[in-house]
Chains A and B, each alone.
Chain A
Amino acid sequence: MPATTENNQSSFLGRISIRRNQVMSMEGNHDQELEDLELFQKHVGDRFADLLSSTTEDPSSDALLSIGWLRKLLDELLCCEAEFKAVVMMGRDPSQISKPPLDKLLPELLDRVVKSLDVCNAVTLGLDAIRNLQRLAEIAVVALEPRPMGDGQVRRAKKALHSLVTVMVHEDKECGSTKGTERSRSFGRRGGNAGNKDRVRSLSWTMARNWSAAKQIHAMSSNLAAPRGGDLTGLALPLYIMSTALVFVMWTLAAAIPCQERNGLGTHLPFPRQLPWAQPMIGLQEKIAEEWKKKEKKGSVGLLEEMQKMEKVGQLLIEFADSFQFPAENERLDEVRVHVEELADICRKMEEGLEPLQLQIREVFHRLVRTRTEFLHVLDQAGKLSTPTV
């Protein structure tokens, strides 16, 4: 687990334990609770503001939707989640969680959690597919790096780049419409007609049939309603914040990383404009949605920054390969060297970043499972308390 999460948790737990003691003296903990809520809102706002600013102000930091940025995003989600649990669950009388409006809101959140798990899984499969793309790009890098550059290498690179670009488009199309394709896809060329040069086959494992990332995220956000009136100061608010963060992160993951069926992912998430903590999230969402719109027109693969770059550089290198003649002129070689280095750099970033990202998504997965279990347990307790046993 990244250090940031650890720190955040430990500092927070310290504060919580103080609160826990105060709960004992039922009096005067209301103020403390309000303070906790306010802090939680502030922290969430700050965290996402960081993510937003890292994309605009500092060019050296991780670019929007890059692997590094996504890892930060997941870190923030994990922090939010830890703090959320501390605010809502720890040291609290179970009956508080089971009464209105939480009796409805909490099950809704837990339902979103279940849906998020599927998104996590779909994205994990998507990362597996990206790793295959990385392998293709690496071929091009290996082929174009050594000097002197000859026809063989260029052809080798071209071949790899062509399949890279085709697979990217294909992967996206496949991910965009799965209806009825799963069978034919998984069985490939069943007839075994040798000589069939159609090598465009999906690199990713499929989720369940008819599963759709877009639908899933839509279902997660459709019943997301901001609390009003008195609920704004109660436990309904942290539940809403957590739900919003969860929906946002899952939406972003699905937009960045290829995953099954993403048509309609571009629709806006219903985030509340009037609440200050949501502003950075809205900012991010607008940016990403804009990217998504561009993408939809161009029909390129997911928004992951490294993949976008990979596609661009890939195209440039294909152009170079198409016009290559041995022996190459030095200027051209210098020119192409820049691109190759760029591609090598992307591959390196993927090599270093994809595995940790995958592990992190798995961590989110386990954390969500655990949290859900814990909440259900609290609800059980509440249930037992309310129905006296004989």
Chain B
Amino acid sequence: MDKNLDEHSNSFPHEDKENNTNAADHTPRSPLLESEDNVVDGDGETEKAGDVDNVEREAGDEKKEEENEEGVSFEDTPETPPPNLEKLLEDIDKFFAATTYDNNDNNEEMIPEFVDKFLYLVEEKIARYDSNQTKWGETVEEDSLLLEGVNRVSKLVKFLTTIITDFQSGEEEKKEGDEEEDKKGDEEEEKEEKKIKKNHSVLLNRVGAIQQRAMAYLEEEFRLLMEESRIQNKPDSSHDAKGKHAATPEPSENESAETFMDFPGFKEEAVTILNKIAREMLFAGYDSECCHLYAVSRKHGFGDGLYRLGYERISMEEVHKMQWESLEREIPTWINTFKECATVWFPGERKLAASIFAEHLSVADTLYTNLTRVVVFQLLNFAESVAMTKRAAEKLFKFLDMYETLRDTIPNLDKLYPEEIVYEIKAEMTSAKNRLGEVAVLIFCELENSIKSDTGKTPVAGGAVHPLTRYIINYLRLACEYKDTLEEVFKEHSKIERADSTSRPNYDNQSQNENQKSNEKENVSPFAAQLTRLMELLDANLEGKAKLYKEVPLSCIFMMNNGRYIVQKIKGSGEIYAVMGETWCRKRSTELRTYHKNYQIESWSKILSCLSPKGLNDNGKVHKPVLKERFKSFNALFEEIHKTQSTWVVSDEQLQSELRVSISALVIPAYRSFLGRFSQYLDPGRQTEKYIKFQAEDIETYIDELFDGNPHHQAMVRKKA
């Protein structure tokens, strides 16, 4: 090494001293300069230039070339340049180690001669790759040798640039101090330095050109690898790319989970190579090129991925105008996409960037952030625009699904994003989440309106369960499957309401009511309060509807039917039962019993009074005409009740049998004993037949026909009559 250095330092002064002008430098004087001219030739012709170079060199250094090809090592003969690249790499490393070790000014000038050989070999190697004589990926050794070579080229560029800049700044200093110094004595030295500088810059030009060519090649290789890697990922799942709703949700979910588990699906060796290339490009200062390629490729890769998930961008206006039926179908796709992104794709994307740019994690973070931020914003825009659509009760559950998706993702953002950006993303996501939450609360509160505005004047036939009851209760049951989310949304929303207190008079009133109520009953959440209020409103509405019936017992049946339906449904669902509470249910059951009692009184007290022995016994004597009258009116009343009440409806079997049992218990024993006591006073035969129309068993049968909603029973009565 030392020897080399010495030799080289001698070799420079040999060169033409007159050559001070920059322009007229066309005669090749040393291998260094000779190759230079060729490289200058032009952009598109680099390859050719390389070939020409080869030819010229072959002519000049035939011997060396042969030796090189044979791979014979010549390190011990200083005149012959070291022929193989590995050895040259070592030499260059040694050279760098030495120069950085004692970094004094004089060393700068001494560029060892083997640098020339090295450059020649590297250039040749690049040319072979560039012209596809050597293909990337054929032999790992060759590839890494190329990268090693490129690495040293980059080092040379840096080294030479430093020398030249140092020299320039030194020159400027010199100029300043010129006056004091002895000009004559310096002149020679200065000339010398200028010449060296010129040689250096000529060398730098050559090295820079080689570097550029290498970078252009690596750039292309990097790009192809990126593209191939993402194309490889395609065929497995291209079949569901045809239509967004092609696959049924369930299996496709599983499928996609499998396919994209290792999103973005780059092969490990590809990542290793990409990392190596990226490292060299970044080392060479070609980071912008590398990042640009990466960013563009991933953008398209990610876009394709989204498309394959069935996610298609819809403009906000389109969402706004869409029919709910269509929009409803987009929402699960969105949720699926969002979750896939948040749990698999984004982490995968971040990992990919971090593996390829392993030595420059801040670069990786920036690339990752810039890519995914756009995706996140687009996804959030959909959520925002969904929240902007016209409110409707049926949308609540889908909105809550979306809300939950966002809510569950937000806490993970810290893991997904670098610190600098996480705040912004979080704010955006929270904004979309809140918007959905606000709308959910409004929709839920608007149920009040749909209860209040149900003011139809036609009673439901037979006192059956009102459609409004069915709708509201089933809706609430469903809503209570989202109980925790709704609780949360209600709490969050009242916070928001307080935060911006711009004119919302009506809601303020509502929340005041809420506050009052929650003062009354402690620990009642706003959601539970709202639910209770809805129940009360429903009750009030039903009571109004009950009044529409002309017969009081029928309105009792109506209230029982509806009340029963409500209690049963609420008991049947753990979630809503938990909110409404046991006390509430017990209270409702008590109310139901009251209605039952009222019904009995209203419907059966009159008929029972017929069976009362009171007024029949006149001093131990049975007044026959009165008895006859009693039987007659009992028969008439019972027939009447049977006729009307068998058209009434109690569809709840238990309630139906409860009613029948209680009626039987009321009527049959009374009738039986009445019969037992007084039938003897009627003459057997015609008279008995005329007044005793029913046996106790008949009564039982007829009672069992009540509340069937079946008008044909009356015919049977008539037949019998």
Contacts and interface: CB of A to CB of B under 8 A. Distances in A.
Chain B associates with chain A: yes
Interface of A: 89-91, 114-115, 117-118, 121, 124-125, 128, 131-132, 135-136, 138-139, 142, 146-148, 150-153, 155-156, 158-160, 186-190, 192, 194, 199, 201, 203, 205-209, 211, 216, 325-327, 329, 362, 366, 369, 372-374, 377-378, 381, 384, 389-390
Contacts of A329: 22-23
Contact of A186 (B212, B231, B304): B304
19 contacts: A121-B377, A132-B292, A139-B292, A150-B205, A151-B39, A151-B205, A151-B209, A152-B205, A155-B209, A186-B300, A186-B303, A205-B378, A325-B40, A327-B23, A327-B205, A369-B384, A373-B435, A373-B438, A374-B502
Nearest to A183: B307
Contacts of A147: 164-165, 168
Contact of B455 (A206, A362, A390): A390
B234 to A, nearest CB: 8
Contacts of B213: 152, 155
B503 A135 contact: no
Contact of A151 (B208, B234, B438): B208
Contacts of A187: 300, 304
Nearest to B295: A132
B204 interface: yes
A27 B684 CA distance: 93
Interface stretch (B315-323, B405-413, B616-624, B712-720): B315-323
B698 interface: no
B333 interface: no
Contacts of B23: 327, 329
Contacts of A327: 22-23, 25, 201-202, 205
Contacts of A362: 428
A378 to B, nearest CB: 8
A136 B292 contact: yes
A169 to B, nearest CB: 16
B289 interface: yes
Most chain A beta carbons < 10 A, residue from B23, B39, B204, B503:
B503
Nearest to A372: B388
Contacts of B374: 125, 128, 205
A207 B381 CA distance: 11
B291 interface: yes
A106 B553 CA distance: 52
Contacts of B94: none
A114 B374 CA distance: 20
Contact of B503 (A91, A117, A159, A160): A91
Contact of B316 (A89, A114, A189, A205): A114
B400 interface: no
Given A153-B208, A153-B212, A192-B231, A207 B304 contact: no
Given A151-B208, A208-B314, A381-B506, A146 B227 contact: no
B228 interface: yes
Counting from the closest, the 5 A-B pairs by CB-CB distance are: A152-B208, A152-B212, A150-B205, A150-B208, A208-B315
Interface of B: 22-23, 25, 36, 39-40, 43, 161, 164-165, 168, 201-202, 204-213, 215-216, 223-224, 227-228, 231, 234, 285-286, 288-289, 291-292, 295-296, 299-300, 303-304, 307, 312-318, 320, 370, 374, 377-378, 381, 384-385, 388, 428, 431, 435, 438, 449, 452-453, 455, 502-506
Nearest to B451: A390
A205 B312 contact: no
Contacts of B453: 389-390
A149 B391 CA distance: 65
A32 to B, nearest CB: 18
Contacts, number: 156
Most chain B beta carbons < 10 A, residue from A155, A158, A211, A381:
A155
A151 B503 contact: no
A65 to B, nearest CB: 24
Contacts of B449: 389
Most chain A beta carbons < 10 A, residue from B223, B377, B455:
B377
A201 B230 CA distance: 16
Contacts of B313: 206-209
A142 to B, nearest CB: 7
Contacts of B378: 121, 205
B211 A117 contact: no
Contacts of A373: 388, 435, 438
Most chain B beta carbons < 10 A, residue from A206, A207, A329:
A207
A225 B502 CA distance: 30
A150 B204 contact: yes
A155 B449 CA distance: 72
Contacts of A390: 452-453, 455
